[in-house]
């Protein structure tokens, strides 16, 4: 979020430690011993509605909720022209999420778990709220951020831990034709972690979970456990 704030010309004005403590305080107040939190920063100045006299440049908003129940294997559907990779804010994490949210509601109504967004160049980009990965020849391939996809935190961690599991993970431009030669497909996000895909409408089916996606899922869970242990040890 700090990285994207510069692109969006937002002065966060908050230290990471203070935001972490605010999340923990709200979770305690809401009795969320386990759950999810959404953290948002809202700009207070700029434009005809910006009246920030005497206010901080940015407001911090935090919401908590119970953990989402995700399917054991995800069913996706192709969404042509689902994302504009050439836009100035393509791939930025921001609240202007209406196009993705509208697509997600529509595909849910049709019985799918998410949409696989294709950009204006005919390349695979991402799902509405998850990054996408294809396994081919024992290697894992994911679209580069130039496709318009968001650089998800879970995606970044997978790049860090993949080699430790003996898995090669590479960025590569991909199209729907690459789905025909994929041995496995999985998606990643903060709430889903590493989640297998068993079908992509209209033409593709995959084993779910596959061996490589399971290996990365277990490695990611170990990473999270270690991170939490270290964080708790640093806490006063």
The per-residue DSSP string of 141-169 comes to EE--GGGT----HHHHHHHHHTGGGT--E
Q: How many CB atoms lie within 10 A of CB 161?
A: 15
Task: Classify 182 as helix, strand or coil.
Answer: coil
Backbone angles phi, psi at 91, to 5 degrees: 80, 0
Residue 173 Cα to chain centre, angstroms: 18
Q: Which range among 37-46, 89-98, 206-215 shows the weakest confidence by mean pLDDT?
A: 89-98
What pLDDT does 22 receive? 94
Q: What is the rounded distance in angstroms from the CA atom of residue 82 to the CA atom of residue 154?
A: 22
What pLDDT does 128 receive? 95
Q: What is the mean pLDDT of residues 97-107?
A: 91
For residue 201, is pLDDT > 90?
yes
What pLDDT does 1 receive? 79
Q: Residue 176's pLDDT band (boundaries 50, 70, 90)?
A: very high
Q: Residue 185's pLDDT band (boundaries 50, 70, 90)?
A: very high
Q: What is the mean pLDDT of residues 202-225?
A: 96
What pLDDT does 48 receive? 67
What pLDDT does 78 receive? 98
List Cβ<8 Å contacts ≥24 apart for 180-183. 180/204, 181/136, 182/134, 182/135, 182/136, 182/206, 183/135, 183/136, 183/137, 183/138, 183/207, 183/210
**CA trace torsion 180, 221, 192, 146 (10° rounding):** -60
Q: Please say whether the beta carbons of 77 and 198 come within 8 A.
A: no
What pLDDT does 51 receive? 66
Residue of 231 and 170 predicted with greater confidence: 170
**Model confidence over 31-90: pLDDT tens digits?**
998 899 999 888 877 766 666 677 788 889 999 999 888 999 999 999 999 998 987 767
Q: Where in the chain is the domain with CATH 3.20.10.10?
A: 74-222
What pLDDT does 219 receive? 97
Q: What is the rounded distance in angstroms from the CA atom of residue 138 to the CA atom of residue 160?
A: 18
Q: What is the mean pLDDT of residues 123-142?
A: 97
What pLDDT does 94 receive? 67
Superfamily of domain 74-222: D-amino Acid Aminotransferase, subunit A, domain 2 (3.20.10.10)
**Model confidence over 17-31: pLDDT tens digits?**
899 899 999 999 999
Mean residue pLDDT across the chain:
91
Q: Which range among 43-47, 112-116, 120-124 shows the weakest confidence by mean pLDDT?
A: 43-47
Q: What percent of the chain has pLDDT over 90?
A: 69
What pLDDT does 14 receive? 87
Residue 182's nearest CA partner among 172, 193, 190 is 172
Most distant pair of Cα atoms in the chain: their distance? 59
């Amino acid at each position: 979020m700090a990285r994207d704030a510069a692109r969006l010309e937002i002065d966060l004005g908050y230290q990471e430690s203070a935001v972490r403590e605010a999340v923990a305080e709200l979770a305690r107040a809401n009795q969320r011993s386990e759950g999810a939190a959404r953290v948002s920063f809202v700009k207070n100045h700029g434009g005809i509605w910006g009246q920030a006299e005497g206010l901080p440049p940015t407001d911090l908003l935090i919401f908590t909720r119970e953990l989402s129940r995700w399917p054991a294997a995800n069913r996706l559907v192709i969404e042509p022209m689902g994302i504009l990779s050439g836009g100035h804010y393509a791939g930025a994490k921001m609240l202007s999420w209406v196009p993705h949210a509208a697509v997600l509601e529509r595909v849910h109504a049709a019985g799918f778990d998410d949409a696989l967004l294709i950009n204006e160049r005919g390349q695979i980009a991402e799902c509405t709220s998850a990054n996408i990965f294809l396994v081919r020849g024992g290697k894992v391939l994911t679209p580069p951020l130039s496709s318009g996809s968001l650089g998800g935190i879970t995606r970044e961690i997978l790049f860090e831990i993949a080699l430790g599991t003996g898995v090669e993970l590479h960025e590569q431009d991909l199209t729907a034709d690459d789905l025909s030669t994929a041995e496995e497909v999985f998606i990643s996000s903060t709430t889903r972690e590493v989640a297998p895909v068993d079908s992509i409408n209209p033409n593709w089916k995959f084993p779910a979970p596959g061996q490589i996606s399971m290996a990365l899922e277990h490695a990611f869970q170990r990473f999270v456990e270690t991170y939490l242990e270290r964080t708790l040890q640093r806490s006063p």
